[in-house]
A and B are shown apart, each in its own frame.
Chain A
Amino acid sequence: MKDNRLLVILGGLTAIAIALIFLVPVAGFIAAIVLLAIVPPWGRGRIERFIISSIVILALIAVIYPRASSMPIDSVTARLTLTGILLGTWALRLIPRLRYVPVSAPTLVEAMLLGLFIVDQHVPATSGASFISLPVEAAKTRHSGRLRIGVATPWGSQPTGVADFSVATISALANLVDVTVFTTSGGMTNSQLTGLTGVDIDVKNVDELLGKRGEHSFDVIVVVVGNSHFHLPFLELTTLTDCIVIAHDTRMVEFYLALRDRGGVEQVMLKTLDPNAPTTISPPLDEQIDDMRLLQNAGMWEVARRSQGLVLHAQSAAQRLAIETGVTPFLLPFANQRVPASSVITADMRSEARARLGFDSTCIHLASFGYVDTRTKMSDQVIQAAGWLSQWGHKVSLHLVGSASESVIESLSAAALSAGIHEFCVTGFVSEEEFRDYLLAVDLGVQLRISPQLGVSGPLSDLAAFGTRAVASSGLAIDVDAPGYIHRLPENVSALLVAEAIETVLESDFDSSSIEPERIAYLAGKQPELYAEKLLDYLKTIAEVR
């Protein structure tokens, strides 16, 4: 066809493909692939033409969406890009010398290849086709008519507060909907906390979902994301399937630093919609990592943009994340993850816990709970605060209830010795019973964060639940909605101010029974069941959209 009819026909096919891209995306995508093997004026045959088209597309995408680009890749921009490419390839034929490059009829082999491709896209996972051979969650029938939710999360006995929180809240969710938990091998073992929930949940290895490239038949997938290695497979899942993300941490920079090294994390940190954000990494990344107050970007771009919805517990960080990512988080008040075994906390229960832990009754027992970290949790400032109290004549026993590296334990022990603290210990990861004993036994908890942007503190919520007084950075107290017996410290705090606050709290008249009503009210408002209900309401809105 050496006249304009070829141009018109190809133009018509291009227009149809573009329409399909917007109306029936899968069909439009297949049509686009076919056209990219036919329309462009390059290559000697269709295969060669398709290969060259693929290279051109990759180059265009690299230009349009560099890794540090703030341009989002979503269904709209993807469609517009494909439309542009189709129009561009057709438009090349408007150049007179390229107009008559021939188009030949497809061969049988090509038609079969395309057929196979279509089958791959459309045959359900249950089909048993050789290339989709993994066991099938999707085959599970919707026997109850309830929502079916898959939750990918650290779980069970994994040594992270996120696992404890998920056990408490997702177990409550399982009373309302059908829940299947997907976790890593470390989370397949039940913890003592899991046993306390009294709910039997189907727990599977997250590999099942990853192996199926995220394909599933759940109404909603929820992925619990945090800034530690526990979350690597879960984060990968967010790249494979639509999901709701529950972000436990409000930054991901250390995660990406470990995963992608400096260049990778810097690229994520430069992705932002904040018009006032710097366009380079400044101050240098090391300084920002060492001192989180300097963090120019939380590194939440990918997590937020890939999610169908972002659930956050930390209201202190919500605005920042919204500005940086353009995704307004759904704020869900933090739930209490560790409900005391008894509805009433008595002085006898505290005495018994002290006896079990072998506490010296002549000391003031202070404790800071959670992973020991000087960089973000100011563990060294806690020691120095205890040091000031010791200098002022108090006999202090300081317990850091959490795990720490050997080098950290060594340096903190030396600092405690130098500060003149009577007793100091880093307990390491402790059992559930021992953790609860510490919550009951100590005179005061000390929970600090160097910045209010660094996420919630489960242990602070635990202290509140057990009616144990504490001093805490105000951002943490706000994020767990701490009751009045949790003393709020300024965000910028010195060890001296912490020590003064501790002394003031300890010397104030205090009858533990007087806070019981407040404690009970706090617990009632922070029940995992309430959290689960609110989460479910939110998930339903997503499921309806789906």
Chain B
Amino acid sequence: MRVGIDIEQFVRDPYGSGIQRVLQYLAIAWPEGDVEPVFIAPLPESPRGEFLCLTASQAASLFTIPFLPGAVDSDTGLAVERDVVEEVRLALFTSGAPVLSLSQVMSTCHIWFLPEVTYLPQVLARFALFAKAMPTMMIGYDIFPMTAPNNYRFKPGTAAEVNGYFRALVTTNSVVCISEFARQSIWSRLRRDRFLPCTVAHPGGDHVSAGETGLVTSDRASRPVRFARLGTMEARKHPAEIVEAFIAAIDSGVSAELLFIGRASASDSAINRRLESAIELGYPITWVHNASDSQVRELVANSDVFLSVGVEGYGIPVLEALQLSTPVLYWGEQPAAEFMEGFGARSLEVEGGELHGALDYAFSHYSNRAHLEGLLGEISVESIPTWAEFASAVERAARELLA
């Protein structure tokens, strides 16, 4: 049995997101057996619209590209700007994968699988076409663009594609959701028929080696407690509120550092300005914009607390932090952190209540290293979901679809 996995979205926009981490480990950890994944990418510049059919190992190499560290200029010491799209294109050309027409792809696959969020019309049209010929399945991430649209700014005129993707989540034969929260959203808000297959499989955190202690610098214990927050400056993740609470804590005499890792907000420049102005005012806040995968790990490993605030569809960075022995404080809808509650993750909602009170509590209480000890002791790497479990669950869903 062959599962055709459409990866055009990745090829067009390989930006190394959490979702693309899922792709990467689907390819790396897909279990051996009679359900064979075939990763289908459009052949670049093909005049006849042909497709490359990559094996799992070929796809794994491809999906790893955006996560690789960039080259560093030996003169300046700065990272050389990468053209990841071009790197992926070249990798496709040199992959040696067989080239098939769309009809050949259709005739050789038994299931069509859309693993990534996509609004590309050609991908959605292909999905609709394959849905007429064979069972289809998708991974169900969050549905925030539909339920919390103020965090997104879709170009006017793209409503058909954006809604088309989410409607496909309702009609596809099987959905593997990354969290119970995602499944409930798809059931209750999109109103997917509850009798249709819709399972939950948690993405793993074991792409980061447990306790990569070599990353940790020696001054960690001697400096103020460093709180790290990772992710794009989206309003749903409350970066501005974190800054406000941190400023208030510092003004009241708390000794701590705050590290923001993530890209600027594309939809709300006020958030970016708020952060920049706090830095200009001299508060101990650092903002790292374009960190590579390895830099992120180093920064998180050298932080004392990982803050995860707001609404997440899942939250792979929480698992990464715990793998790196950095305890997690969370507030809001945080499926991965909730899953790790008691194993190194602690809810600020329980401890501090509403967002403002919770953040006040986090900065004042956990800036004392003694208070961190108990949390550190709770970290249980063994409890972190693995990619093998995730890929097996996806494979199982495919198998059940054909049963």
Contacts and interface: CB of A to CB of B under 8 A. Distances in A.
Interface of A: 290-293, 374-376, 378, 380-381, 383-384, 387-388, 391-392, 415, 418-419, 450, 490-497, 500
B145 interface: yes
Given A387-B167, A391-B191, A419-B163, A450 B147 contact: no
A450 B156 CA distance: 8
Nearest to A382: B159
Contacts of B157: 290, 374-375, 380
A494 B167 contact: no
Contacts of B145: 494
A418 B125 CA distance: 10
Interface string B154-175: 0111111011101100110000
Contacts of A495: 146, 159, 162-163
Given A387-B167, A496-B146, A497-B149, A374 B191 contact: no
Contacts of B150: 490-492
A408 B11 CA distance: 30
Contacts of B191: 391-392
Contact of A391 (B155, B162, B167): B167
B153 interface: yes
A384 B160 contact: yes
Given A292-B156, A384-B160, 17 more contacts: A374-B157, A375-B156, A378-B159, A380-B157, A380-B159, A383-B160, A388-B167, A391-B170, A490-B150, A491-B150, A492-B150, A493-B149, A494-B145, A494-B147, A496-B163, A496-B166, A496-B189
B190 interface: yes
Nearest to A494: B149
A373 B264 CA distance: 31
A290 B156 contact: yes
Contacts of A419: 160, 163, 167
A418 B149 contact: no
A381 B154 CA distance: 11
Nearest to B147: A496
A418 B143 CA distance: 20
28 contacts: A290-B155, A291-B155, A292-B156, A374-B159, A375-B156, A380-B158, A380-B159, A383-B159, A384-B163, A388-B163, A388-B167, A391-B167, A391-B170, A419-B167, A490-B150, A492-B149, A492-B150, A494-B146, A494-B147, A494-B163, A495-B146, A495-B159, A496-B146, A496-B147, A496-B166, A496-B189, A497-B146, A497-B147
Given A494-B147, A496-B189, A387 B153 contact: no
B166 to A, nearest CB: 7
Interface of B: 143, 145-147, 149-150, 153, 155-160, 162-164, 166-167, 170-171, 189-191
A492 B146 CA distance: 10
Which of A291, A387, A419, A494 has most chain B Cβ within 10 Å?
A: A494
A290 B171 CA distance: 32
A497 B147 CA distance: 7
A64 B238 CA distance: 46
A293 B170 contact: no
Which of A376, A380, A500 has most chain B Cβ within 10 Å?
A: A380
Contacts of A375: 156-157
A267 to B, nearest CB: 24
Contact of A291 (B153, B164, B189): B153
A392 to B, nearest CB: 6
A293 B143 CA distance: 22
A450 B191 CA distance: 26
A374 B162 CA distance: 14
Contacts of B160: 380, 383-384, 415, 418-419
A23 B363 CA distance: 68
A314 to B, nearest CB: 20
Contacts of B190: 496
A459 to B, nearest CB: 20
A497 B153 CA distance: 15
Which of B149, B163, B170 has most chain A Cβ within 10 Å?
A: B163
Which of B153, B155, B158, B159 has most chain A Cβ within 10 Å?
A: B159
A511 B334 CA distance: 43
Contacts of A418: 160, 164
Contacts of A376: 156
Nearest to B166: A496
Contacts of B189: 496, 500
A291 B160 CA distance: 16
Nearest to B144: A494
B162 to A, nearest CB: 8
Contacts of A492: 149-150
Nearest to B269: A294
A291 B150 CA distance: 15
A492 B145 CA distance: 10
A119 to B, nearest CB: 56
B112 to A, nearest CB: 18
B167 A293 contact: no
Given A388-B167, A391-B167, A419-B163, A374 B147 contact: no
B238 to A, nearest CB: 17
A285 to B, nearest CB: 15
Contacts of A392: 191
Nearest to A380: B159
Which of B147, B153, B166, B167 has most chain A Cβ within 10 Å?
A: B167
